[in-house]
Structure 1
């Protein structure tokens, strides 16, 4: 199995002593890896470090076997990223926004813009101004921009954040379809455990800046002692809190 994302001892501490410490994990090709935990646990910090938007104090990021610190451009060549919210120019159409993004990929065929709009379900709205888009449509446009370069790994930070129930279902179905039809590997962050249970193949739980547990979702919900991902998460958190009290 090919490792497409590898974090080794990733550490970043802010002046307020919050951050992440010694994060070590691997994402294999074909995974939909759910990285979740409470708000403020450090999920976005880790993703910003991977995407080059934040510098780690120490540790290593490897993408497709390439050390990101040694050659960041080469390491990110097969990676698409959507961190936090999807930014777009409201006064431009969805198509024009993607046309602008496509300038970063001079070898990209022009038909790719229409392909990604079709993939994310925005083909019928491509000439509408983004100011007329719902929040869910804007998130889908963000995903379209992230997959424009035909990445093999897609990093999405809270892709369902702020969406209504219909929007969350649509985003979940989109991610599943991209994994199935485009063979994209996913590294997702979320605090919405129910969404993770329905979508992910593997999960990692982040708590107070530390990765406290990794597991296969199937082993949790259909294993020897089956439980919901929500109950599993709460069990792990309670164990950590008990350990902190007795430390």
Structure 2
């Protein structure tokens, strides 16, 4: 398998002493990789560094073999991104928002806009103003925008955060469909471990800015009744080691 994402010794500290410390991660081609941890653990910081939205103090990120810091355009050429909340112009329709986003890419056709609207289930609502969209619809619109350029890697930060059960299921089904049918690799952050268990094949667990475990979901949950139980066991051991250090 080819490594699409390679993160080595990534470190960034903030003035409040929080941040990330020596994070090492690898996402292989074909993965639905779950990046799991509680709020404030450092997930979004890692993703912002990966996508050039902030700079690391130490370490490097490579996407498709290209260093994000030194060869940004090449690194991001096959990447779609949805970081934090999906942003859109409320006074414009869903379709107009996508047509505006398409201008940032070369040669995005109207047919491609039609395709992504269909994939995310917004074709019937494309002419409605975004102001009238539910949170779930706005998240699907953000996902559609991230898909416009036909990326081979999609980086999604908490894509189901704040959604009801129906909304979460819909986003999950879209992700699993794209992974299977379009062979898109995913890196998805979440603090909802049940979602990770249902759709991810590999995951990394981040705790207080440190990646404490990475591997197949089946390996991490082995010997436990659930992934949740395995996570709690893992964190308990991390705290025990820290107390004895």
What TM-score do the two structures reach when normalised by structure 1? 0.97
Q: How does 1:1-247 map to 2 (within 5 A)?
A: 1-221=1-221, 223=222, 225-247=223-245
CA shift, 1:110, in A, is 2.1
Helix, strand or coil at the partner of 1:12: strand
Helix, strand or coil at the partner of 1:86: coil
**Alignment check: 8 A CA contact 2:52 2:69 kept:** no
Q: How many residue pairs were aligned?
A: 245
**Alignment check: 8 A CA contact 1:220 1:228 kept:** no
**Alignment check: 8 A CA contact 1:82 1:155 kept:** yes
CA shift, 1:201, in A, is 0.3
Helix, strand or coil at the partner of 2:77: helix
Cα distance per residue 1:82-118 (max 9 Å; x no partner):
0010000011000000000000113222210000000
**Alignment check: 8 A CA contact 2:117 2:144 kept:** yes
CA shift, 1:240, in A, is 1.0
CA shift, 1:33, in A, is 0.4
**Alignment check: 8 A CA contact 1:19 1:45 kept:** yes
Helix, strand or coil at the partner of 1:104: coil
CA shift, 1:220, in A, is 3.8
Helix, strand or coil at the partner of 1:154: strand
Helix, strand or coil at the partner of 1:235: helix
The separation in 1 between residues aligned to 2:218 and 2:239, in whole angstroms, is 26
Question: What is the Cα-based RMSD across aligned positions, in Å?
Answer: 0.9
The separation in 2 between residues aligned to 1:203 and 1:121, in whole angstroms, is 27
Helix, strand or coil at the partner of 2:215: strand
The separation in 2 between residues aligned to 1:85 and 1:226, in whole angstroms, is 33
The separation in 2 between residues aligned to 1:168 and 1:89, in whole angstroms, is 23
CA shift, 1:244, in A, is 1.8
The separation in 2 between residues aligned to 1:142 and 1:227, in whole angstroms, is 35
Helix, strand or coil at the partner of 2:198: helix
In structure 2, the gaps of 5 or more residues are none
The separation in 1 between residues aligned to 2:243 and 2:67, in whole angstroms, is 38
The separation in 1 between residues aligned to 2:151 and 2:164, in whole angstroms, is 28
Cα distance per residue 1:21-78 (max 9 Å; x no partner):
1111110000000001111110000000001111000111100011111110111000
Deviating above 4 A after TM superposition, structure 1's stretches of 4 or more consecutive aligned residues are: none
